[in-house]
């Protein structure tokens, strides 16, 4: 593989409704796309990746401007320096990306986007789908939905009722101190024995264990990331005090981190987000590790466009993903997606079987939502 061109494209896409979590409210998203053209086997192929960073460093240390900078200044040049012919060394593909970028510390979301673009080009060159590459045999996956913090409990009940009417098979409620017991109780009382879980996004402390223990009464599937992302020991201590299984999200940044969490007893469930862990290949390694240890996994979401959403659905088709993921329909977040929309049918989302990771983005949508673009010099 020889890189021919890399362009970083930032879009500005309004959300259909504000999405509020413990780290703030989002009214719009700024998807950062990597468009990569490479020569593979004598043919030029274009691949697309999506970086899931937020505009500000509130979910992780990465943020939009930092991702653009590290991609342009360090990651793309490191990839462009790889040998590209048998005379210089073995031809490379997506499997070589993580090793080529390892000397750059951190920035897993930026690295994931670049690996994703390389993998997409590689698969398109051989007319292979991501599902086929991963060995997925399912043709669809169950779809859950994440519900942000609402202005009132009554509005929450209306929103949840709407999603259940659409066919979503699992509800996840965002919680934070002051918005936890009451909304969870109200949803459970109104809708009965639906699959229900909560996500705290690191909003609590171990001293809140007595409060969190009161959530046990609601028979939740799990409580996601209640404590700080860098404290596995305290999650393990909290797990011993709760009947509700603890799921880790922000804490799981790699297969090594997942192994530590499992060994400490800090995670009975793991939320695997490909962008957060450095890409789909590392996500598969975490899936394999968790499955070998009997730890349930599910595929989380970062409000992706149709590019990342379709790829997530394929990943979620692996057999260890035993819980419904946050792979909702495109219209959950966007009135218009940049690809053919991901749709919900019978509570499930179909897995993309065409070449690459997803349908190609529509040129007119890229123009409509254009915010910033820059080509990265390769020499």
Catalytic: which of 111, 273, 284, 285?
273
Angle between the N-to-C axes of helices 280-292 and 306-315, in degrees from 0 to 180, rounded to the nearest 10 = 30
DSSP 214-242: GGGGG--S-EE--S-TT-HHHHHHHHTT-
- Note the residue count of the chain: 379
Contact call for residues 130 and 121 (beta carbons, < 8 A): no
Beta-bridged to residue 338, according to DSSP, are: none
CA distance 258 to 239: 16
Asked about 273 being catalytic, the answer comes back as: yes
Closest to 168 measured CA to CA, from 324, 337, 356: 324
Closest to 177 measured CA to CA, from 54, 21, 58: 21
Phi-psi region of 359 (alpha: psi -120 to 50; beta: other; left: phi over 0): beta
Beta-bridged to residue 321, according to DSSP, are: 297
Catalytic: which of 68, 170, 174, 332?
174
Closest to 141 measured CA to CA, from 316, 301, 271: 316
Give the 3-state DSSP-derived string for 164-220, with helices as H, strands as E and coil as C.
HHHCCCEEEEECECCECHHHHHHHHHHHCCCCEEEECCCCCCHHHHHHHHHHHHHCC
3-state secondary structure of 247: strand
H-helix or E-strand containing 299?
strand 296-299
Give the 3-state DSSP-derived string for 314-358, with helices as H, strands as E and coil as C.
HHCCCCCECCCECCCCHHHCCCCCCCCCCCCECCEEECCCCCECC
Contact call for residues 285 and 303 (beta carbons, < 8 A): no
Q: Catalogue the active-site residues.
A: 174, 273
């Amino acid at each position: 593989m020889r890189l021919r061109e890399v362009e970083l494209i930032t879009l500005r896409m309004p959300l259909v409704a504000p999405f509020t979590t413990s780290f703030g409210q989002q009214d719009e998203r700024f998807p950062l796309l990597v468009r990569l053209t490479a020569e593979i086997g004598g043919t030029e192929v274009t691949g697309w990746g999506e970086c899931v960073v937020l505009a500000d460093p509130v979910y992780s240390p990465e943020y939009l401007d930092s991702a653009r900078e590290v991609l342009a200044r360090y990651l793309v040049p490191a990839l462009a320096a790889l040998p590209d012919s048998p005379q210089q060394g073995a031809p490379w593909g997506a499997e070589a990306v993580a090793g080529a970028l390892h000397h750059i510390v951190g920035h897993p979301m930026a690295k994931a986007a670049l690996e994703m673009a390389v993998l997409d080009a590689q698969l398109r060159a051989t007319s292979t789908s991501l599902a086929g590459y991963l060995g997925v045999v399912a043709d669809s996956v169950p779809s859950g939905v994440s519900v942000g913090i609402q202005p009132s409990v009554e509005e929450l009940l209306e929103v949840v009722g709407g999603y259940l009417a659409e066919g979503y098979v699992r509800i996840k409620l965002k919680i934070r101190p002051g918005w936890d017991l009451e909304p969870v109780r109200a949803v459970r009382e109104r809708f009965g024995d639906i699959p229900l879980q909560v996500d705290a996004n690191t909003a609590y402390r171990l001293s809140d264990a007595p409060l969190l223990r009161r959530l046990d009464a609601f028979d939740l599937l799990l409580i996601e990331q209640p404590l700080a992302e860098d404290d596995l020991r305290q999650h393990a201590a909290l797990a011993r005090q709760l009947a509700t299984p603890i799921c880790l999200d922000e804490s799981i940044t790699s297969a090594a981190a997942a192994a530590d969490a499992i060994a400490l007893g800090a995670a009975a469930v793991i939320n695997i987000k490909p962008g957060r862990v450095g890409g789909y290949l590392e996500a598969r390694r975490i899936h394999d590790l968790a499955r070998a240890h009997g730890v349930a996994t599910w595929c989380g979401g970062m409000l992706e466009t149709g590019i990342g959403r379709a790829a997530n659905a394929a990943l979620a088709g692996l057999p260890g993903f035993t819980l419904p993921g946050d792979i909702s329909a495109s219209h959950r977040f966007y009135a218009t997606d940049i690809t053919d929309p991901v749709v919900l049918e019978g509570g499930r989302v179909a897995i993309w079987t065409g070449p690459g990771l997803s349908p190609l983005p529509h040129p007119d949508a890229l123009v409509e939502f254009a915010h910033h673009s820059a080509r990265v010099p390769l020499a």
